[in-house]
Structure 1
Amino acid sequence: MNNVTSAGIDFTSLGLDPVALSVPLGFTTFELRWYSLAYLAGIFLGYFYMLRLIRQPGAPMARRHADDLVFYASLGVILGGRLGYVLFYRLGFYLENPLEIIKLWDGGMSFHGGVIGTSLAIIYLSWKEKLNWLRIHDYVSCVVPIGLFTGRLANFVNGELWGAPTTVPWAVRFPEVIAGVVTLGPPRHPSQLYEAALEGIVLFAILAFMFWRTRARYQPGLLTGAFLFFYGIFRFGVEFIREPDNHLRAFAEATGLHMGQWLCVPMILGGLYLIATAASRRRRVESFAGQESVA
């Protein structure tokens, strides 16, 4: 509490460092960043939760499929997330500096691009193994909030994607480049933590309740629709108190909404469609792994 003042919390006083581990290697230094660890944590924790989900009656895939899914989905989220960021957020910059695209360690990932990449990976695996692609999406949707939570925490540790100036007592003063000098900016909403709570904890709880306490997993598309709808609503709302990227500030002023909000609109509409039509897709679900069938 000593760091909480009317001027906000000094981010530098929290002792957070984007680099988790630094090892000198002769003429260079190996750095392991929390941003990378967040992705790894999300993938591995999500994998173990997925194994628990597919042990329940009516699972759409076996353990071997889940093992393959980790590989394909990881490629999808990394490649899709990076290419999505390039296309949706900084296309002009990367066209002029194409080598910067491979510098994943510097950050710059689009969740919406990651969704597209992961979805394509699921569709490919489903086609290859003759699985129900929509039901696999349902199970993956229950897992994704874990990665969203760890990723947003990493955004906070990196001191990036902060919120708008505010006077709330938990406001944080992040290091910013002002007039070419790195200094503490004004007190801002820690929007990364808001998103970690909403997109991570709350969304996980909603989908877990639907999976474990209702029969939602027997209505193909219902869990996927819920994920798309609630994520879209949460992200759309938080963007109102989140600062747009500097290179997209003019876009936000011209359109009245941030890029992230525009990208959430099709998610919300698509989610509503899947929710509304899920009951019509309900049928006798045969378990792939030989567990009991569920009508």
Structure 2
Amino acid sequence: MVTVDVREPPARTQQRSRGPRPSRGYRVFQGVNAVILTVVVAVTLYPFINILARSFSNERYIRTGQVNLLPRGFNLTTYRHVMSDSAFWTNYRNTLVYTVVATIISMVLTTCYAYVLSKRHLKGRGFLVGVALFTMFFNGGLIPNYVLVSHLNLRNTLWAVVLPNAISVFNLLVMKSFFENQPVELEEAAAVDGLGTYGILLRIVLPLSKAVIATMILFYAVFFWNSWFSGFLYMDRSDLFPVTVYLRNLIAGATTGSDQTASSDSAIQIAGNIQAVTVVLTVAPIMLVYPFIQRYFVSGVMLGAVKG
């Protein structure tokens, strides 16, 4: 019995699977696009790499401007000085607690307020939106805020850092727009099935809003992690400071010591690269967390910004 192989030659099959070759103009566009993006990435990464290199460099190389992408005179004096201080770890723990608690409270308040504002049939909706927008452009000022916090006996407490900045109007408007863009039919179907307002929010709306929620968590967490002025203004005890206030005081002390020409080599080294070390220690936790929620970041902002 004779068998006939009807399969096409491998070369022809491979050529068909590849499809048509891109045009010359498209290849030029890809090349130019790759060059531009490479330049943008290099310009964006250079400051971070330079700061990291300076944090491990010797003071004399930093002052003479010889540190670029690689450390010169590798040195860990400042890192040892900062990390061996028990106050640093105490303030670091404070910052972690402040950031977690403040982010949770801000997300709860912002989500509830945004969900309410997304209902077009709500009576007084325009007034509530106006109140939020008014606070975006006008506020009582530094002294009235300080007097208010003091009269509420919030000084030297967690709530002095958390409550005054609990809701960001920008984040509120982004979440409001995101909720408005969700299909109304889903909520109507859930209401027909017997779910109430809170049930619809918790079981229908929030599971469909993971992108914008992750984005808002990132916004709030970065804000509270980097916030130092509230702790500096409302905290009198050093054991309650956030780590940003600790590092700010360390920079101020190192600058004063260098102005007075400190005699020890350790003090001179700390004064030389303390700014780079503080930037690394402050930014590192956020940079470690960001990759895990980066995939939600762009989609959350774009979906929530379709309408204003």
Give me the TM-score of the superposition, normalised by structure 1: 0.26
Higher helix share: 2
The structure, 1 or 2, with the larger RCO (C-alpha pairs under 8 Å, 6+ apart) is 2
Which structure has the bigger radius of gyration?
2
Higher strand share: 1
